[in-house]
Structure 1
């Protein structure tokens, strides 16, 4: 009997160690004031109540830093940076920690249930388009929002610190986010699949350096076909127009090629994630069924 109980305990320990997923999040631990890169920046949505602001502050772990630079983003900022509605209510809030060159751009949505349309891969794609690199960015909201206004908060953070992002690139990045979320909603295409499409098109633009609209159109069409995505003619033209704008802005995606490669890998992991968790669910069910049978045999 003692041997059987010991074996049962060993099985439970091994299952706990290897089968149950662990929570992984971006590390933003306080290591004092970085005099080279500056203080972390926190930008709160103006529409937050004091209680909501306190909740967001806790979510973004603001108190773990000795000092932060704090700002507020409002509808007028939305109008100034990307031509949005100045009467918009702004809820999405962000924390930005600048990193050394080559560290890459790392996005974490702290409240995924409250950011309903924009994925972290969409944010990454749009921010690379806007020229934001080498930073850890955390996004949070205390209420359900689409997530679009977080871009404006990031733009304001850079502006307030004296870093001028290109206005045209910011506008194109906002258009990119709008198109990505619109296509996902209207066409019923998985959001991760849309992110993969945008990333692959950028990679091909970096490799092929298209000189004409027709070449951009061919790249878009090739990637739609490669990923087996069918779009309406209207949405296909929106994509072509978007990347034609990028071509005219001479955005050099060669500079962020490694980040685009990393983004492709992370998106693929997400796309394959459902299969993994389905397999794990089945394994868990089988495990507990076998465990139940085993325990019953101990007392029979």
Structure 2
């Protein structure tokens, strides 16, 4: 006779009902509304996300007008000024390169883009308006209004005469009025400015302090490789050297693009645009 098989019963645990939402507290700082980054009294504090620690959204450009998104035969876009975390717009490759260069000049503390329009009257009594590509604000409180144009188009455009009229009629707009062409905005200067911009966007104060301790004992010029040989991290050390160049603490004294073989020295009168 076969023994009867016993049945094993596995009871299913009851499904717990979700707890009702906690009532809003009258003394909560946010009026009882909970959400990311908020906590009720007595709860454990939550750490901010990694994104909140390392990134903040840039401010919008202060441009009086934005370049059209689509245009035939032109180059337009924007970058973020690493000094002010503000967007800078441009309408040509020359403007883009100058947008990189200006924030890295040791005397410049602010860059305004597409500033204007500025009204002026020509020699025939006709009223015109002109929008400057940039206005650079300097640490001494002065400002420079900048018009950007390819060198071969400056003469035919009458731009220099326009700036002369604006300077005479609207002298309070800026302290200086200048034209900048490819003769000023060279490829090497632009390449160096983009490199400095990249370094400033990833600025690390601990790395900068380590390199600064090495450069404080420098006498004369030294190759960047020699400075990095005394640091613990070659790659991050190079970025720190770039930040010190951008801050006006170190001076790049070699010709051409900045590289690890370039010579730098401590600027005799340390100027900073931080």
TM-score by length of 1: 0.31
Which has more strand, going by share of residues? Answer: 2
User: Which structure has the bigger radius of gyration?
Assistant: 2
Which has more helix, going by share of residues? Answer: 1
TM-score by length of 2: 0.33
Whose relative contact order is higher, 1 or 2, with alpha carbons under 8 Å and at least 6 apart? 1
